[in-house]
Structure 1
């Protein structure tokens, strides 16, 4: 203690001589105080570069410390410590899962990053029964949740396309994929959450208990608390999947067939669509590793269409049900208007299908093409304007696939809880559209971001009614426009659960603006 006081006195004297600033003194105090917190885990104060990077590879904001929590109590202790520092402190806290944010949302410039994956040591518990569920840490990867629940013949109902993301990370956004039309997003399949609020309180919440915080945190972009545990609904897991892809030559048939399928009582288990901009005339990637239904007709399939549309579907089955599956698939396909020669399919295990993107990741990593900038743009578009959007964007703005897939598929509003923090259109059917670009080459980032801006500008001028999924805004007016009539409620929830705006600073929704600290106030450091 004597040594610490001497350090402060030295800093105080240097401050008076102008050798250091008040910020230096405060930073020194912050690091010293964090080091004295009673924790099961530990802090890192050096080699923080990984916490200043993410999947987007477009932003880098180094923190001053990284917390490796050994327990949920460590997270609560840290957040409460920052909260008690009061309004004069500029310190913020960001929960980082697997680092798959795109524009620095999981970073904390000059703040504390919590490495949520350190909580994976917390035991995952599966509860089979009439209403099965699993309790998983907020830092657990979905692929590990799947592997654990499959041991009981069970699996979560709704997924993202990529499973190497954390539970807390996807639930803070929504969690969407081709099952969303049936089960809703992942946030519609959660029974209970454990959350550390911006005051450092550990709160258990559900639709019946602390329900406002429960709904605020789901899709809340980390603004109201850090999700440290989630109780996730399960269902019986199939063993196999019939995985199908077909092509359409016109957008009208493509969208009408998708909308018919998501509304049918008996339908596929997964439905997604892709846009293929065929400037080169090469149509191989869309069916890689698939087998044609009719090899002879497929070999003769040619088209000069510059824009095509791929419909991807699956039917789950167990081996003893293969004949029934074949009949159901045949009946469903007979109702669709795809190009017959383009029917391709393959049978894979359930986990192989769900973890399909990771297989592609391994191939891209081997080529050095994974850890590149990813200037993605994810949009939610009402059904009533999707055709206007597609005509302009796919017909005129985009000239190629821009080094990445373009997703486009419909979901149903009735499968979403509009009391959560996610903003969706006020129509029963709306589309998820994702431009998942990889920026390869010296000018690719600028080019892709320019295309993204053109798409957004057109959407605004044409009154498309677009909302961003995984939103990226930098000013309060933009965020107000995003939330619209729900902004006041969103802001009130922030004032309730994180009044000092400590959490998730990388989202750039609420910026912590500490009051100026006069020289006389430095006496509290001593």
Structure 2
């Protein structure tokens, strides 16, 4: 409809119209919405629309966007209402499958400029646990539609010959590993589970047993391509737009959507010697772990976990050896308490090192204080070790015990000076219950985490802090087993214990602004400033529950 014709129609119907000077800014879709509002007797000046009107107007708005082949679904949104935790189910208004970064920029820019209450969440494979990648009545961008991996074994001019891999935000880490290994290379730092998206882990941190040496995954990123909350596509690095680069890494998706990442590579080993050893004393377990992450020639991977002093294959000592028959109750020391601690380490080697690996590992184990009769070893390929959880995933999925059940997980960063008290108040108590799932406990070096990153780690003088991961699974109902509500109450009780211990949540979700301010501590003011700079309308990642969508009233003239 031409401008004059539109105004004539407006005059005869008595509706309000956008002024000619504003039309290029807000787009003619606004005019169409105003017509719809007038026809159903909704005042244009109203600050709140009824749910049915919001759905209708938002659908018209989204359908009007000029997209480059992007698929837009309003009906098939069930998957976007769920995540790994199975604790929250929020229905989006639409799910989009972008064909390229231009589509993401288009929809973000349009939503940021609109008068609607729409928000946007980027979703990978949905491995968040508390609805962080959901967008109630908003738009979920399905990032797995964005794939493409390029390995540069010789680097380029900017990286001065250092090898790297470029991957899209929707690529999986396991695919990055496969592509890199074709050149004898691999990223330096990992998560324990590789079937996660690049954008998802880099928006948090990405932590595993290599992090004590190389830092988290976000400490090994050379460059990012980010679509900000303004809809601007920006290439950023430590030297190019560094404010956006460091804000985005560990920024919980609050400042931009990661559409591409350049990740540092190193020479990949061929095989690993994989070792597990049991302790009955937490103090000895702690001393050895901290010794290993500070040693001159440490193992390549250092983790630890807690098991109950029973034969339960899920969380007892029978789950520790690589062959269950390698352990028996008679091997457990009589003085052992209700829980045991398992050190898990690896040493990488090549075929040329095969004749020396036994001697090397034995010398590295010699100073440690585990129970010598409770030492278990195996050898495997580097790829199989890194992808070790996939086999478990396949087995449990076939029994309906993987992504089909709730996972009330809780991940914490605990200062080293508080970890023994944490053991007394939490670990020794919770593991006496029916704890179904892994309970990880291992140390990290704070100096490997760049202070400019958004991610919050424990503040204070401690160089070492621990990640403690309560990875509980709500199994199908068992007689006497804990209910889901009981597990969630346990998490709340643990968090109350943590308050005076200066702990931080990893993969956090807090209830209000006060809790978020406490979480980020000295980084909070900068976090807010970055939000105002890169996502001033607060449209990104509403599921994190940090900021609320900011509305802007558009000036209109009545006829």
Q: Which TM-score tier does this pair reach, normalised by the shorter chain?
A: over 0.9
SS in 2 for 1:287: coil
Matched with 1:349 is 381
1:22 to partner: Cα distance: 5.0
Q: Would you say 1:419 and 2:452 are equivalent positions?
A: yes
Paired residues, what number? 511
Matched with 1:43 is 72
Q: Is the 8 A contact 2:304 2:442 kept in 1?
A: yes
1:27-176 correspondence to structure 2 within 5 Å? 27-40=55-68, 41-85=70-114, 88-120=115-147, 122-128=148-154, 130-176=161-207
Structure 2 unmatched runs, 5+: 7-28, 156-160
Residues 328/446 of structure 1: CA separation in 2 closer, same or farther (3 Å cut):
same
Q: Would you say 1:481 and 2:518 are equivalent positions?
A: yes
Q: Is the 8 A contact 1:156 1:233 kept in 2?
A: yes
Give the whole-Å Cα distance in 2 for the aligned partners of 1:238 and 1:78: 43
Give the whole-Å Cα distance in 2 for the aligned partners of 1:186 and 1:113: 25
Give the whole-Å Cα distance in 2 for the aligned partners of 1:396 and 1:29: 53
Q: Is the 8 A contact 1:279 1:400 kept in 2?
A: no
Give the whole-Å Cα distance in 1 for the aligned partners of 2:398 and 2:325: 25
Q: Would you say 1:451 and 2:490 are equivalent positions?
A: yes
Matched with 1:185 is 216
Specify which of 326, 333, 346 is matched with residue 365 of structure 2: 333
1:423-502 correspondence to structure 2 within 5 Å? 423-425=456-458, 426=460, 427-441=462-476, 444-460=483-499, 463-502=500-539
Q: After the TM superposition, which of the residue ranges 381-390 and 299-308 deviates more from structure 2?
A: 299-308
1:289 to partner: Cα distance: 3.4
1:474 to partner: Cα distance: 1.7
1:293-332 correspondence to structure 2 within 5 Å? 300-303=330-333, 304-332=336-364
1:444 to partner: Cα distance: 2.2
Q: Is the 8 A contact 2:222 2:264 kept in 1?
A: yes
Give the whole-Å Cα distance in 1 for the aligned partners of 2:49 and 2:215: 52
1:511 to partner: Cα distance: 1.4
Give the whole-Å Cα distance in 2 for the aligned partners of 1:132 and 1:222: 27
Specify which of 310, 319, 334 is matched with residue 285 of structure 1: 319
TM-score of the pair, normalised by structure 1: 0.92
Give the whole-Å Cα distance in 1 for the aligned partners of 2:557 and 2:197: 40
Give the whole-Å Cα distance in 1 for the aligned partners of 2:544 and 2:168: 23
Q: Is the 8 A contact 1:273 1:309 kept in 2?
A: yes
Q: After the TM superposition, which of the residue ranges 441-450 and 159-168 deviates more from structure 2?
A: 441-450
Q: After the TM superposition, which of the residue ranges 230-239 and 508-517 deviates more from structure 2?
A: 508-517
1:365-404 correspondence to structure 2 within 5 Å? 365-370=397-402, 371-400=404-433, 402-404=435-437
Give the whole-Å Cα distance in 2 for the aligned partners of 1:260 and 1:505: 41
1:308 to partner: Cα distance: 0.4
Q: Is the 8 A contact 2:322 2:376 kept in 1?
A: no
Give the whole-Å Cα distance in 2 for the aligned partners of 1:401 and 1:175: 28
Q: Is the 8 A contact 2:339 2:431 kept in 1?
A: no
1:273 to partner: Cα distance: 0.3
SS in 2 for 1:230: strand
Give the whole-Å Cα distance in 1 for the aligned partners of 2:505 and 2:33: 49
Structure 1 unmatched runs, 5+: none
- Bigger-Rg structure (1/2): 2
Specify which of 185, 198, 202 is matched with residue 229 of structure 2: 198
Cα shift readout 1:271-329 (whole Å, capped 9, x = no counterpart):
1000112256752112243785xx8xx78403453110000011111122112222210
Cα shift readout 1:139-169 (whole Å, capped 9, x = no counterpart):
1000000000000000000000000000010
1:458 to partner: Cα distance: 1.6
Give the whole-Å Cα distance in 2 for the aligned partners of 1:350 and 1:431: 25
Q: Is the 8 A contact 1:154 1:237 kept in 2?
A: yes
Give the whole-Å Cα distance in 2 for the aligned partners of 1:349 and 1:362: 19
Q: Is the 8 A contact 2:149 2:171 kept in 1?
A: no
Q: Is the 8 A contact 1:290 1:344 kept in 2?
A: no
Q: Is the 8 A contact 2:278 2:343 kept in 1?
A: yes
Give the whole-Å Cα distance in 1 for the aligned partners of 2:319 and 2:440: 14
1:521 to partner: Cα distance: 6.2
Specify which of 407, 410, 419 is matched with residue 443 of structure 2: 410
Q: Is the 8 A contact 2:318 2:324 kept in 1?
A: no
RMSD of aligned residue pairs (Cα, Å): 2.4
Q: After the TM superposition, which of the residue ranges 180-189 and 299-308 deviates more from structure 2?
A: 299-308
Q: Is the 8 A contact 2:413 2:468 kept in 1?
A: yes
Q: Is the 8 A contact 1:12 1:25 kept in 2?
A: no
Give the whole-Å Cα distance in 1 for the aligned partners of 2:187 and 2:112: 35
Give the whole-Å Cα distance in 2 for the aligned partners of 1:353 and 1:245: 13
Give the whole-Å Cα distance in 2 for the aligned partners of 1:441 and 1:515: 48
Residues 308/401 of structure 1: CA separation in 2 closer, same or farther (3 Å cut):
farther
Give the whole-Å Cα distance in 2 for the aligned partners of 1:313 and 1:485: 34
Give the whole-Å Cα distance in 2 for the aligned partners of 1:217 and 1:412: 22
Cα shift readout 1:217-237 (whole Å, capped 9, x = no counterpart):
010000000011000000011
Cα shift readout 1:239-265 (whole Å, capped 9, x = no counterpart):
111111110010000000000010001
SS in 2 for 1:62: coil
Give the whole-Å Cα distance in 1 for the aligned partners of 2:149 and 2:180: 13
Residues 420/405 of structure 1: CA separation in 2 closer, same or farther (3 Å cut):
same
Give the whole-Å Cα distance in 2 for the aligned partners of 1:501 and 1:322: 55
Give the whole-Å Cα distance in 1 for the aligned partners of 2:276 and 2:36: 70
1:182 to partner: Cα distance: 0.5
Give the whole-Å Cα distance in 1 for the aligned partners of 2:306 and 2:250: 27
